[in-house]
């Protein structure tokens, strides 16, 4: 770093000894005015710096998906998209190394309802937290998969944008993550660079001609950063897509990418390169049939599930063999079915629950969906009550409407309760419940 940074090195070293800034990115689909008050992050309209780190666990809005806790530098990919693919465009996007979902939730907000996101993570144990974060974000225009980058051959040339936020040596996180610092060695940098090259070598064919590849790491060394970008250009038919940033943002322009250094940018060390595919990319054949063993709902069942949706006509509903009902946005139907037929370990759309005797037992994902009907029965809770609900306690008030009712906080749904005449059942999934004490040991 000393050799690379020259006279800036002491400032860099000083910044690395300071506590990292705290920042969040708001969910534009779940507006919360309070969160808008804090200091904006210049490159992300929904990004906010917080003056200190609160207990996110004790904030019901965090559980409702009103925001994602994300360090500020990595939100720069939003600006890269603004300048290349555009925002709100009907893009097909693949996030190849997605867990726990920071980039994926940003990508969903950037494409809005118009596009489609395939959020993939190879390590199976990281799928549950990824799914949880995506469910909180509330979008239906997505698929989540659990595959190695080499398994995607049937989707060659399918994507307008492929994001490779690669596993790396984490030099940019040393002040936040002592593990990253203690595991660092020259050998581990070389190992990371080789692994990144393997990932890129699979990812390069997935981008359509004219499409964009966004490669990022949270490290500083050129072996993992620019040398891999150069490899991609030499071997994948890519050219750099030049970006420009206002100088006051402090982002360093390198030959083949952009680097955030913590002494110049209020965030962690983050590297990003944006490339456009100019080479000819053959496209794999699409399949547009639903999975063979999925059934459409009957005309008697349809109104039961449609009642939960604000715009039911925008969705098709299928039942999977084990009984779960899935809602698929019609605008992305062909894309969803193509992905479903190309990959074995994947989910598509949102699982909305199970039909039991003329009743939908609604899933937690449906409670958090942005497509939920706004007039469903709600019990708006005070903060203390909301935290008890999030601890999976059964709450009850005589005035609450009987039946499926959304426990909510500040208008944001937190989960389902089934309200009976003198009690209620809390349907929050066990894995989602808050485990820490919320009020004097309770």
Q: Using the rule CB under 6 A, is 98 a contact of ligand SAM?
A: yes
Residue 402, Cβ density class (10 Å: 0-12 exposed, 13-18 middle, ≥19 buried): exposed
Number of residues that bind ligand SAM (CB under 6 A): 16
- The one segment of 122-130, 344-352, 353-361, 398-406 that binds ligand SAM by CB under 6 A: 122-130
Q: Quick one: which H or E segment has residue 328?
A: strand 324-329
- The one segment of 12-20, 118-126, 134-142, 273-281 that binds ligand SAM by CB under 6 A: 118-126
Taken in order 283, 288, 289, 291, is the CA torsion positive or negative? positive
Within 10 Å of residue 258's Cβ, how many Cβ atoms? 23
* Residue 409 C-beta-side C-alpha neighbours within 13 Å: 21
Pick one of 149, 267, 353, 413: the residue that binds ligand SAM (CB under 6 A).
149
Pick one of 36, 123, 128, 194: the residue that binds ligand SAM (CB under 6 A).
123
Mind telling me the catalytic residues? 218
Sheet of 315-319: strands edge to edge? Answer: 295-296, 315-319, 324-329, 350-356, 359-362
Q: What are phi and psi of 5, to 5 degrees?
A: -95, -15
Q: Using the rule CB under 6 A, is 81 a contact of ligand SAM?
A: no
Q: Using the rule CB under 6 A, is 77 a contact of ligand SAM?
A: no
Do 392 and 428 touch, CB atoms closer than 8 A?
yes
- Using CB under 6 A as the binding rule, the residues of this chain from 180 to 209 that contact ligand SAM are 195, 199
Residue 375, Cβ density class (10 Å: 0-12 exposed, 13-18 middle, ≥19 buried): exposed
C-beta of 64 vs 98, nearer to ligand SAM: 98
CB of 165 to ligand SAM, least distance (A): 4
Q: Using the rule CB under 6 A, is 147 a contact of ligand SAM?
A: no
Q: Using the rule CB under 6 A, is 117 a contact of ligand SAM?
A: no
Pick one of 90, 100, 157, 312: the residue that binds ligand SAM (CB under 6 A).
100
**Token pair for 312:** 């039911």
**Token pair for 179:** 């593990």
CB of 217 to ligand SAM, least distance (A): 7
**Token pair for 147:** 């595959």
Q: Which residues bind ligand SAM (CB under 6 A)?
A: 97-103, 121-123, 126, 149, 165, 167, 195, 199
């Amino acid at each position: 770093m000393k050799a690379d940074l020259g006279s800036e090195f002491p400032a860099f070293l000083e910044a690395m000894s300071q506590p990292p800034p705290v920042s969040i990115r708001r969910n534009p689909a779940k507006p919360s005015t309070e969160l808008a008050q804090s200091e904006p992050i210049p490159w992300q309209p929904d990004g906010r710096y917080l003056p200190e780190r609160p207990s996110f666990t004790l904030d019901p809005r965090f559980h409702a998906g009103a925001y994602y806790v994300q360090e500020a530098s990595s939100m720069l990919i939003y600006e890269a998209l603004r300048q290349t693919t555009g925002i709100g465009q009907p893009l097909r996007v693949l996030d190849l190394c997605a867990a726990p979902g920071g980039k994926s939730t940003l990508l969903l907000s950037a494409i809005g309802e118009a596009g489609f996101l395939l959020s993939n993570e190879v390590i199976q144990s990281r799928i549950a937290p990824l799914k949880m974060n995506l469910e909180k974000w509330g979008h239906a225009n997505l698929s989540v998969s659990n595959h190695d980058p080499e398994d995607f051959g049937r989707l060659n040339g399918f994507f307008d944008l492929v994001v490779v936020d690669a596993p790396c040596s984490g030099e940019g996180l040393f002040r936040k993550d002592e593990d990253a610092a203690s595991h660092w060695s020259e050998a581990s940098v070389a190992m990371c660079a080789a692994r990144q090259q393997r990932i890129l070598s699979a990812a390069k064919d997935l981008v359509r001609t004219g499409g964009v590849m966004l490669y990022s790491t949270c490290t500083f060394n050129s072996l993992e950063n620019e040398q891999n970008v150069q490899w991609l250009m030499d071997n994948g038919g890519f050219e750099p897509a030049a970006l420009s940033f206002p100088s006051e943002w402090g982002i360093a322009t390198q030959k083949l990418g952009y680097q955030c250094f913590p002494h110049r940018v209020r965030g962690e060390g983050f590297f990003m390169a944006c490339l456009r595919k100019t080479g000819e990319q053959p496209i794999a054949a699409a399949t547009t049939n639903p999975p063979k063993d999925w059934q459409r709902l009957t005309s008697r069942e349809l109104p039961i599930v449609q009642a939960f949706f604000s715009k039911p006509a925008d969705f098709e509903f299928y039942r999977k063999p084990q009984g779960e009902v899935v809602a698929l946005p019609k605008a992305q139907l062909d894309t969803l079915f193509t992905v479903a037929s190309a990959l074995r370990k994947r989910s598509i759309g949102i699982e909305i629950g199970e039909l039991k005797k003329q009743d939908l037992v609604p899933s937690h994902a449906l409670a958090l969906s942005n497509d939920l009907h706004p007039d469903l029965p709600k019990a708006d809770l005070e903060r203390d009550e909301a935290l008890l609900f999030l601890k999976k306690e059964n709450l009850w008030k005589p005035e609450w409407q009987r039946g499926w009712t959304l426990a909510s906080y500040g208008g944001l749904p937190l989960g389902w309760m089934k309200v009976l005449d003198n009690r209620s059942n809390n349907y929050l999934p066990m894995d989602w419940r808050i485990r820490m004490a919320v009020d004097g040991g309770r």
